[in-house]
Amino acid sequence: MTTLLGCIADDFTGATDLAGLLARSGVQVSLRIGIPDTPPRDTAPFEVIALKCRTAPVAAAVSDCRAALSWLQAAGASRFFWKYCSTFDSTPEGNIGPVAEALMDDLGCAQTIYCPAFPENGRAIFMGNLFVGRQPLAESPMKDHPLTPMRDSNLMRLLDPQVTRPVGLVDRLTVARGAVAIRDALARLGQEGVAHVVVDAVADEDLDAIAESCRDMPLMTGGSAVAMPLPALYRADGALAADAPRMETPVLPRAAVILSGSCSAMTNAQVAAYRDTGAPALRLDPLELADHGHQQALDWLSAQDLDKAPLIYATAEPDSVRAAQDRLGRARAGEIVEEALAACAMAARDRGARRFVVAGGETSGAVTQALGVDRLDIGREIAPGVPWTFCETGGHRIALTLKSGNFGAPTFFTDALEAL
């Protein structure tokens, strides 16, 4: 069906986060990995394009986002959402502001809002200042981020050098008075020529009021949470028909494989918990892989009963990761593991696996690339921020869940398999 809302996300996990929150409403959401190279076909009411432009040079980010906008316009969307991190990850050059301004120019719109608040995850904005839990952004661990160190907590000051037009604020005192008050304040700012408006939000009710007041803006920008109320708002006023396509849960063969390349503390706990269930499991050692390749893993996999959902993991404790990195170098150690897990994914698919659980952000990138997956239809959430998705690979429909780092409970792997 024609797309209602077209979303552009500046990284992959940000896109899955947004797609998952939109899909909580039960509406059909489709996530594209990169800008599709074919014209829109078979589109969902909510489309999310995942880009990789958070820290790209400004000109490249702007040109990617404009190309994504054109594709979404061709899909029929007339409202758009620019999604960035809830910690406003950016530098004085960009890319949040320059992309927003370019999209506004293309859409001919004079004003947009900036609302990275995500109260459920402890991100709140008060008087234009962003908090991470109880800490101002600039006192949070984000101050030491390797690529986008956030050394100021004030969103107006952060945004100002990134844009050419005036920046303003709708503060919490207004937001607390509801959607009409917010709309009036935005109109007043518009008359003063304020194009870029930071909007305070400390609770979900604030986001509901903001989404209600801005739902017809051609462009909204923010974290994922402020977009979450939109499907229900579109449904209430008929923009989203009652019989619009719903999220699907296809029935797929049981054959499954679990591939884990994340070394986060939570993934280590998840691997241990899954091993404790007695399920078949193979540990990959990067040093072994460097010396002997990954044929042994493929041989092990080919002897497994995929109905028992075997686990192949490189997940290891920090000491062991460090040892591998010291010998191979950080990048090479990562690549070797990603190549092995990607090869296992293809082999499992060719042997009939139709359910894939993947742990690790980079690992997910390697696996989706190997499987040639470019579109994910979002399904039911397994854990906050981690939905099942459905996609095509090698002519087969499969279920795929991509879990980054610390997401999910210790029982995530069994939770995922049981949720299908």
**CB of 289 vs ligand ADP, minimal distance in Å:** 9
Tell me how many degrees the CA angle 282-288-291 measures, rounded to the nearest 5.
145
User: CA 374 to CA 391: how far, in whole Å?
Assistant: 8
**CB of 210 vs ligand ADP, minimal distance in Å:** 30
- Closest residue (Cβ) to ligand ADP? 360
Which candidate, 15, 24, 2, places its Cα nearest to that of 368?
A: 15
Nearer to ligand ADP, 210 or 316 (CB): 316
**Which residues in 297-316 contact ligand ADP (CB under 6 A)?**
314, 316
The amino acid occupying position 171 is: D
**CB of 415 vs ligand ADP, minimal distance in Å:** 18
User: CA 10 to CA 14: how far, in whole Å?
Assistant: 7
Residue 97: its H or E element: helix 96-107
Nearer to ligand ADP, 180 or 265 (CB): 265
Q: State the number of binding residues for ligand ADP (CB under 6 A).
A: 22
**CB of 321 vs ligand ADP, minimal distance in Å:** 4
**Which residues in 324-353 contact ligand ADP (CB under 6 A)?**
324-325, 333-334, 337-338
347: tokens are: 């082999």
C-beta separation of 258 from 274 below 8 A: yes
**CB of 122 vs ligand ADP, minimal distance in Å:** 20
Binding mask 244-283 for ligand ADP (x = CB under 6 A): -----------------xxxx--x----------------
Strands 281-283 and 219-222: unpaired
**Residue from 120, 171, 362, 415 that binds ligand ADP (CB under 6 A)?**
362
**Residue from 286, 310, 379, 387 that binds ligand ADP (CB under 6 A)?**
286
Nearer to ligand ADP, 15 or 113 (CB): 15
**CB of 158 vs ligand ADP, minimal distance in Å:** 26
390: tokens are: 């459905």
Question: Is residue 408 part of the contact set for ligand ADP (CB under 6 A)?
Answer: no
**Residue from 129, 268, 363, 414 that binds ligand ADP (CB under 6 A)?**
363
Query: In 303-405, where does DSSP find H-type helix?
Result: 318-328, 330-350, 361-371
Strands 196-199 and 256-260: unpaired
403: tokens are: 């879990």
119 half-sphere exposure, CB direction, 13 A CA radius: 13
C-beta separation of 256 from 312 below 8 A: no
Nearer to ligand ADP, 101 or 338 (CB): 338
User: CA 410 to CA 400: how far, in whole Å?
Assistant: 19
**CB of 155 vs ligand ADP, minimal distance in Å:** 27
C-beta separation of 118 from 130 below 8 A: no
Binding mask 122-141 for ligand ADP (x = CB under 6 A): --------------------
**CB of 251 vs ligand ADP, minimal distance in Å:** 30
Q: Which residue has the tokens 């239809």?
A: 377
**CB of 244 vs ligand ADP, minimal distance in Å:** 33
**Which residues in 42-61 contact ligand ADP (CB under 6 A)?**
none
Q: Which residue has the tokens 């490249």?
A: 60
Rg for the chain (alpha carbons), in Å?
22
Nearer to ligand ADP, 188 or 330 (CB): 330
Nearer to ligand ADP, 337 or 357 (CB): 337
Q: Which residue has the tokens 């935005």?
A: 186
User: CA 54 to CA 70: how far, in whole Å?
Assistant: 19
Nearer to ligand ADP, 80 or 274 (CB): 274
Binding site for ligand ADP (CB under 6 A): 261-264, 267, 286, 314, 316, 320-321, 324-325, 333-334, 337-338, 360-363, 404-405
